[in-house]
Chains A and B, each alone.
Chain A
Amino acid sequence: MQSTMREADPILEVENLSASTDNLPILKGVSLTVYPGEIHAIMGRNGCGKSTLSKIIAGHPSYNITNGDIKFLGENINSLEPEERAQSGIFLGFQYPIEIPGVSNLEFLRVSTNARRKFLNKEELDTFDFEELVKEKLEIVKMDHAFLSRSVNQGFSGGEKKRNEILQMALLEPKIAILDETDSGLDIDALRIVASGIKKISNAQTGIILITHYQRLLDEIKPNYVHVMSDGQIIKTGESDLALELEEKGYEWTDNFIKET
């Protein structure tokens, strides 16, 4: 896959974004633009701010934006609630999907899907119609129907949780999906299932941000751009071969970039 021509309007524009939590600065001026059909990878050491960036884009209440803007489809979304962002088409795949005891996975998926459909002025689905839809989507992540009757993520293995995330992505059909370390904790087979799921769901109209430590996900899903983050900043951007170089030379290599800038 080559870098796209970027003729359409961007889906996501992060402009000089700084943010903090408990007065501790985490992001220090991040800029990133994603166009339809593009796949971006963000790499970096633990604690460099990758996960924080994804949470802030999704609207996590623990972080304060101290400077800069997040624009989605041209509109500033800095002050939107997380649910409004989700309804309008921003999807965050969690690194550690949360367990919600007592709430059935099926009901959760249905309410969630209907919230998105309502936003899109599509008819909300009743239990029967939703069953049909979800059956079809289960195929994508090769999940068993039995997962639906369990509580959300409760007692799921690491791989099952991640597949449940991709199932949600398949149902919500987001404009942009930010997948935070979706590959971590997966064995090779599960990684292939998840990767092929992501590829099936994405198309020329969607944007994807993959946050990862490892090359192996990027072997399955080739990114158009690779960004390296360090200490709350994007310190280098390149094409997919940057990831290979990073894999080979390690993050110590990137420390030199900071000195350069």
Chain B
Amino acid sequence: MVNENLVKDVVKEPYKYGFVTDIETEKIEKGINENIIRLISQKKEEPKFLLDFRLKAFKKWQKMKEPDWAGLGYKKIDYQDIIYYSAPKQKEKISSLDEVDPKLLETFDKLGIPLTEQKKLTNVAVDAVFDSVSIATTFREELAEHGVIFCSISEAVKNHADLIEKYLGTVVPASDNYFAALNSAVFSDGSFVYIPKGVTCPMDLSSYFRINSGDSGQFERTLIIAEESSSVSYLEGCTAPMFDTNTLHAAVVELIALDDASIKYSTVQNWYAGDEEGIGGIFNFVTKRGKCLGKRSKISWSQVETGSAITWKYPSCLLLGEESVGEFYSVALTNNLQQADTGTKMIHIGPKTKSTIVSKGISAGNSKNSYRGLVKMGAKAKGSRNYSQCDSMLIGDQASANTFPYIKSQQPNSEIEHEASTCRISEDQLFYLQSRGIEFEEAVSMMVSGFCRDVFNQLPMEFAAEADKLLALKLEGSVG
């Protein structure tokens, strides 16, 4: 049909962030072995406990096998052909932003994340990560006044070693899975957040991850701790240049919420997805997990996944504390030959725990988009409840969508509710909107954003606007 082709044109997105910053970098040699791990740890001047943590993880990783249960198709990754540490060359010690290489500041400017004092975003504190290192973190003093710690994880290792030693790896143990083990062995940088007891973080915190070099992997590690009765909203954004090789991104994010604490973690993921033939793009193998340790604690994940050649990602919640709450709101858009296998795990351990899952998958082109989720009610999760809703939208007739909901219950006094639907943008729907004077592109984008509304409503305001724009951009193209 004529319109099928039009839809295909419309979803061909131009990637705005595909540029490379020409900057001198310090890279270590390719490959992974014990010496490389010692070298990374040494470069970062880490205490011994962390080196031990890394080496133990590496030993475990060597014994593990790359998982294939998601049925994703990709060329075998040669882990010896990856550079595990790459950093832009800078002065040894940087005391202020003025000493940051202007090229780096310019890069983040171009990405819409200005860092300098005059231009920085007014209501969001940003930690900007470029390849393996954190470049700058804004609003640090203002946050410090409230006792909030927001810095790169490398800095936290130096200045808050006690917190790192206490919590690192307690939510996602190194042995959790293949990619988590790899990350634990070689992680370079990432963000660290600590919200003290009773504090509501005065502004949104945000990390922006930029992969610049083509042959290095990015292995960032994020740790967020919310003490009793505290709350924080954290945003994560990511982009990468267009290379015709695949770049590995294997991150680990750990969240910990104590009594009555709440953490809202939002992601807009726009890594380079590869071209129409599926050449290049990021392999995004990420482990994100939150632990609701405290009573009435709450962890809420919301994500808009639009990039990466392959996405393998299941932001999850371990609901230990009585009456704790886990939420997962997700939009995943795939196009061309992209593959996304994403979902969540809600593990109800404590009594009267509650979880909500709302997943919206949109597949266009020849892409493959799967929701995979686990809801588990443990033996002590009496009076717990889960509600899941998984909707798929197909654009064109070559795309595929799957839903794999796994449900396990050891507690008869708990409720699990699951709803799923699949729809297709039909020629008739488009014609109906067009016959009311609405342009073709706008018609597609209205339908897509209507489909995603439940999730967009959960995003922080700045992000919701960005997500809507991003989807519209992905759906922009020459019509006919």
Contacts and interface: CB of A to CB of B under 8 A. Distances in A.
Interface of A: 58-62, 81-83, 85-87, 92, 94, 97-104, 107-108, 111-112, 115-116, 119, 151, 168, 172
B451 A108 contact: no
Given A62-B427, A108-B433, A103 B446 contact: yes
A98 B428 contact: yes
Contacts of B437: 83, 86-87, 112, 115-116, 119, 172
A112 B450 contact: no
B435 interface: yes
Interface of B: 1-3, 423, 426-429, 431-440, 442, 446-447, 449-453, 480
A195 B453 CA distance: 36
A62 B436 contact: no
Contacts of B436: 83, 86, 108, 112, 115, 168, 172
A175 to B, nearest CB: 13
Given A61-B2, A98-B428, A151-B450, A81 B434 contact: yes
A165 B342 CA distance: 40
Given A102-B447, A102-B450, A60 B438 contact: no
A58 B434 CA distance: 9
A172 B437 CA distance: 9
Contacts of A98: 426, 428-429, 431-432
A115 B439 CA distance: 9
B432 A94 contact: yes
13 contacts: A58-B435, A60-B431, A62-B1, A83-B438, A83-B440, A86-B437, A97-B432, A98-B431, A100-B432, A101-B451, A102-B450, A102-B452, A108-B433
A172 B436 CA distance: 8
Contact of B433 (A60, A61, A100, A104): A100
A61 B1 contact: yes
Contacts of B439: 83, 115
Contacts of B1: 61-62
A98 to B, nearest CB: 4
Given A61-B1, A61-B2, A82 B450 contact: no
* 9 closest A-B pairs by CB: A102-B450, A115-B437, A103-B450, A86-B437, A112-B436, A82-B434, A98-B432, A61-B2, A87-B437
A150 to B, nearest CB: 12
Given A61-B1, A102-B451, A103-B447, A81 B440 contact: yes
B358 to A, nearest CB: 13
Given A82-B431, A94-B432, 6 more contacts: A82-B434, A82-B435, A98-B426, A98-B428, A102-B451, A115-B437
B450 A92 contact: no
Nearest to A83: B434
B447 A61 contact: no
Nearest to B453: A102
Contacts of A111: 438, 442, 446
Given A61-B3, A115-B438, A101 B450 contact: yes
Nearest to B3: A61
Contacts of A172: 436-437
A172 B435 CA distance: 11
A119 B442 CA distance: 16
Given A60-B431, A100-B433, A112 B453 contact: no
A102 B451 CA distance: 5
Contacts of B434: 59, 81-83, 86
A108 B446 contact: yes
Contacts of B438: 83, 108, 111-112, 115
Given A61-B2, A61-B427, A62-B1, A100 B447 contact: yes
A112 to B, nearest CB: 4
Contacts of A168: 436
A172 B426 CA distance: 24
Nearest to A60: B431
A116 B431 CA distance: 16
A61 B3 CA distance: 7
Contacts of A86: 434-437
A100 B429 contact: yes
From B3, B436, B439, B449, name the one whose CB has the most chain A CB atoms within 10 angstroms: B436
A151 B449 CA distance: 13
Contacts of A101: 423, 450-451
Contacts of B435: 58-59, 82-83, 85-86, 92
A199 to B, nearest CB: 22
A60 B480 CA distance: 15
A29 to B, nearest CB: 24
Contacts of A60: 431
Contacts of B423: 101
From B423, B434, B447, B480, name the one whose CB has the most chain A CB atoms within 10 angstroms: B434
A221 B433 CA distance: 28
A94 B429 CA distance: 12
Contacts of B433: 100, 108, 112
B459 to A, nearest CB: 16
B424 to A, nearest CB: 12
Contacts of B447: 100, 102-103
Contacts of B432: 94, 97-98, 100
A61 B430 CA distance: 10
